[in-house]
Structures are given as structure tokens and as C-alpha cells.
Amino acid sequence: MAHDAAHAHDAGDHGGHHGHPTGIMRWLTTTNHKDIGSLYLWFAGIMFLVAGSMALIIRAELFQPGLQVVNPDFFNQMTTLHGLIMVFGVIMPAWAGFANWQIPLMIGAPDMAFPRMNNWGFWVLPVAGALLIISLFMPGGGVAGGWTMYPPLFIQGGISYDMTIFAVHILGASSIMGSINIITTILNMRAPGMTLMKMPLFVWTWLITAYLLIATVPVLAGAVTMLLTDRNFDTHFFNAAGGGDPVMFQHIFWFFGHPEVYILILPAFGVVSQIIPTFARKPLFGYASMVYATASIAILSFIVWAHHMFTVGMPAAAQLFFMYSTMLIAVPTGVKVFNWVATMWKGSMTFETPMLFSVAFVCLFTIGGFSGLVCAMTPVDIQIHDTYYVVAHFHYVLVSGALFAIIAGVYYWLPKWTGHMYDEKLGKWHFWLSTISMNITFFPMHFLGLAGMPRRYADYALQFAEFNAIASVGAFIFGASQLIFLWVILKAIRGGNKATDQVWEGAEGLEWTVPSPAPYHTFETAPVVK
Ligand code: CU1
């Protein structure tokens, strides 16, 4: 167990101890939290290119009215898989990568609590990803029912629908394994003195996220299992002709689905709460209120689900309940935004790339929050339901929210992860191009939605042409800008200026101040916890 931190990754090449696996076997058998963190991040990055390309196919088709690039059925397959892969294959695995890399370092644990389950939790992911992508090429075509998998559409399709259900089961199993690991690690393996209320906020947000996952992923698994039996074993859970109820699927799905959107965004709150204090050179304002706000958001997320279903025909009392409970979430979210602003207030701020993305997060996520409040109002939502207004809303939350926080976190910790500084100049190019093009893409969608353009159609009426053309131009600039990001990451991995011990001037916390030897271990040599 005497491997030196800096040389741990080369141990196999030295012909070192007990013939550690090298090459592909090293990655297949690794139980080291840093290796597994990297695997998650690479998987998320590759799937980001896949699902991002699908978005560009969508935007190419919508560049002009009339069909020009793909047929409507393939268009629907693209919107469905773009959503499924971005949620389950990009943002969730990226956060799992951050959790694996950072949580042990931040709380002073030698590794995750269950290193072998950690390995398994990652390696089922590529199987699910492959199932989703291969399903596109199956007889009968790919899944075209939307990422929410609503019946009756989702009961009718071919084999690709069964493959998608299987993929969702696998993804769920992976999430459950990851969550059990994260909760156990945080509750049992903190260094002496690291009390719960001293934990870095990123650790807090992931602890709460892990509870959300454990509470909701089995609900999703139940929903898709009922779809599976409706499809293959003649049950009629969601078939009105057999006494079932298709709307029941929506209730079950969104009981998972709304907490799921907080699963995607809570770790983002955590990352931004690490970055802003560093570059404002002030401690986080309102730490305890941040923890309580995160917990409040998580609890409230369980009682708002039917705000996705205002048009299914609900009693007025239910509409009022889901409207008011949804609006209530603005309170703890507002607490967070005010705390981030107060942290920056009178700080001696500098604007390196991680800070730029974090400040953009605070501004643009807040736009997504406000349009969420608009959507929450029942009478307004009945008007804008299934229009591009909703598409604009959730892309502000997920692109300039979750994705920007992931990018900010990658820039922030890349020196820690690779040992090299990234190229600040290219980082700034990446930031400005992404931020400007993100707004060019998604802001016009508010106008399209208010004017009545429905989502999930390959074509549209002539009066929507201008804003669609603008959105498509923005999308292609955004897509191209992400190639800069890829280049910056590859450059930092391959070399560049050595990162110093204290990478960021204002950074505090265990992860920056305590040396963190990477335990070299695999299935053959399990970690020894002293
Ligand atoms: Cu929701």
C-alpha cells in the first residue's frame, strides 16, 4: 500500500507489485474512486457528443418550414433519444463522476465505501447507452414516443421500445448503486472533525440528491415495468379499453420525474457554491440556509408532480394545490440565488473561466426559474402546455443550469484532476461563445411558444420561420463551441503548466490542502481502510 500518489497511475508499467492489470483490464477492474470518476466523466462526454448531434439534427430540420433534412418519424426518434440520453447518459453520469472524484477528497475518506459496487455501478452504464443507440436501428424504427415514455404511444411501438425499457431499468440500477455508495460514504467515512454542518456544500447537495434517487428511481422502474407487461403480457395498467388508465402513467412518471429535475440541478447548486466563494475570496454567505434550502427543495419536489399535467382534466382543488406547491419552491431557490449574490457582494472578484460559467449560471438559471413560475400558473400553463415556451424553460434550467455548472466544475477541478492548468484563453472563448449562442438558441423559443408553436413536430407554420432560423443558427454555434471545450480538456490531460499545490488563490477545503494519494487497487487488491 505504499504507492506514491504521483506514480500510482504508472504502477502497472513498472511491472510493480503483484502484476496490476494494465490497459483495458485496468479500467474494467478498477475500484479506485478517481479512475471511476474519470470513467463516468468520459462516458458523459461521449454521450454529450451523441445527444448533442441529435439536437443539431433537430435544429437542422427546424431551420426552415417544410421538410428538408429528415422524415417526421426519424425527427421524433431524435427528440426522444436526445432527451433520454441528455438526462440519463450525460448529466446524471457527469454528476456521478464529480461525486466519485470529489466526495472522498472533500470529506477526507480514503475511497468510496463500496469500491467494487462502484465499479459495477459504472460498467452497466455503457450497456444501457448501447441499448438506447442500437434501438434506433431495430426493425420498426427507434423509439419516437418522447423521453417521457407516455402510453398509449409507448405501448404500441416495436422492439426498440422494449430495449429502451430495459435500458431505463439498467440506468436505474446504476443510480441506486451509486446513491447507496454516496450516502454510506458521507455518513460513515468523514475525517475526524468533519461534522455534517462543516461539509462542503457540494457534498451536502449530493447527499440529498442520493436520497432523492433512492426514493424515486424505483418508482420509475415500476412505471416502465408496467409498460413492459402491458406490451408483452396482456396486462392493462395503462390501457383504457381493458379498464386501465393512461393518465395513471403520467402521475407515476412525474412522481419520479419532478424530483428527477432536482437530481439534475442540486449538484449544480453544490458546484456553484464551491466556485463562487473561491473567486470572490469570501466564505459562502448563509451556509446553513443553503443546506436547509437544498433540503426544502428536495422535500417540496415530491408534492408538485402534477404541474406537468394541468391539461389532463383535474379537479380545480388539485390544480390549485399543484400550482401553489410549485410556486413555494421559488422561496428556497430564491434563498440560494440571494446567497450567491451576497457571497459576491463586495468580494475581490476575479473572472477565470470557472467563475464566468458560475456567474452565467446564476443569471441564466434564474431566467429558467422565472419562466418555471410562469409555467406553474395553471391557467397560463393550459395555454402554453406542450409549446416551445416549455422547451425554452427547461433548456434554460438544464443547459445554462446543469450543463454550465458541469462545465464550470470541470474547469475548476481540471488542474486537480490532471495536474495541469487548462488554457485560460481558450476557456474564455468557450465561455463567451457558449453563453451568447445558448441565448440565441433558446431565448427565441419563449416567443415561439407564446405564439403557439407546439413542440415535437418536424414542421411548422410559416409565421414561426424567423425565430426558428435564429434558434438553429445559435444551436450550431453552441455545438461548435463545445469542440473548444473538448480541445481544452485534451490539452490539459496531455500537458501544459503544472498545477501548483494551491491552484486557486481563494480556494479552501480539504480537497485543496491535503495531499490525496490515489489508491491503486482493483478487484484483486481491494483497498485497505486503516
Ligand atoms: Cu416538475
What grid cell was written down for 360? 452565467
pLDDT one-digit tens code per residue, 237-276: 999 999 999 999 999 999 999 999 999 999 999 999 999 9
Q: Which domain holds residue 256?
A: 28-513
Q: Residue 520 falls within a domain, yes or no?
A: no
- Catalytic residue, candidates 160, 273, 371, 441: 273
Residues 310/376, Cβ–Cβ less than 8 Å: no
Whether 133 shows a pLDDT value over 90: the answer reads: yes
Q: Residue 523 falls within a domain, yes or no?
A: no
Verify whether residue 521 is a known catalytic residue.
no
Verify whether residue 455 is a known catalytic residue.
yes
Verify whether residue 307 is a known catalytic residue.
yes
How many Å lie between the centroid of ligand 1 and the Cα of residue 397? 12
How many Å lie between the centroid of ligand 1 and the Cα of residue 366? 16
Q: What is the DSSP letter of 89?
A: I
What grid cell was written down for 304? 408538485
How many Å lie between the centroid of ligand 1 and the Cα of residue 376? 9
Exposed (0-12), middle (13-18) or buried (19+): which is 420, by Cβ within 10 Å?
Answer: middle
Whether 9 shows a pLDDT value over 50: the answer reads: no
Structure confidence at residue 3 as a pLDDT band (50, 70, 90): very low
CATH number at residue 150: 1.20.210.10
Start-to-end C-alpha separation, the chain: 11
Q: Residue 15 falls within a domain, yes or no?
A: no
Verify whether residue 174 is a known catalytic residue.
yes
Verify whether residue 260 is a known catalytic residue.
yes
Q: Residue 2 falls within a domain, yes or no?
A: no
How many Å lie between the centroid of ligand 1 and the Cα of residue 260? 8
- Catalytic residue, candidates 35, 230, 260, 511: 260
- Catalytic residue, candidates 336, 385, 395, 446: 336
pLDDT one-digit tens code per residue, 409-443: 999 999 999 999 999 999 999 999 999 999 999 99
Verify whether residue 20 is a known catalytic residue.
no
How many Å lie between the centroid of ligand 1 and the Cα of residue 193? 38
What grid cell was written down for 46? 461521449
How many Å lie between the centroid of ligand 1 and the Cα of residue 394? 10
Q: Residue 530 falls within a domain, yes or no?
A: no
How many Å lie between the centroid of ligand 1 and the Cα of residue 335? 19
Q: Residue 203 falls within a domain, yes or no?
A: yes
- Catalytic residue, candidates 26, 455, 456, 491: 455
**pLDDT, position 200:** 96
pLDDT one-digit tens code per residue, 71-123: 999 999 999 999 999 999 999 999 999 999 999 999 999 899 999 999 999 99
Q: Residue 5 falls within a domain, yes or no?
A: no
In 3D, which of 206, 202, 216, 219 has the Cα closest to residue 412? 202
Q: Residue 352 falls within a domain, yes or no?
A: yes
Largest CA distance in the chain: 71
pLDDT one-digit tens code per residue, 291-346: 999 999 999 999 999 999 999 999 999 999 999 999 999 999 999 999 999 999 99
Number of domains in the chain: 1
Verify whether residue 111 is a known catalytic residue.
yes
pLDDT one-digit tens code per residue, 484-515: 999 999 999 998 888 887 788 888 888 887 77
User: φ, ψ for residue 224 (rounded to 5)?
Assistant: -75, -25
How many Å lie between the centroid of ligand 1 and the Cα of residue 308? 6
pTM score: 0.93
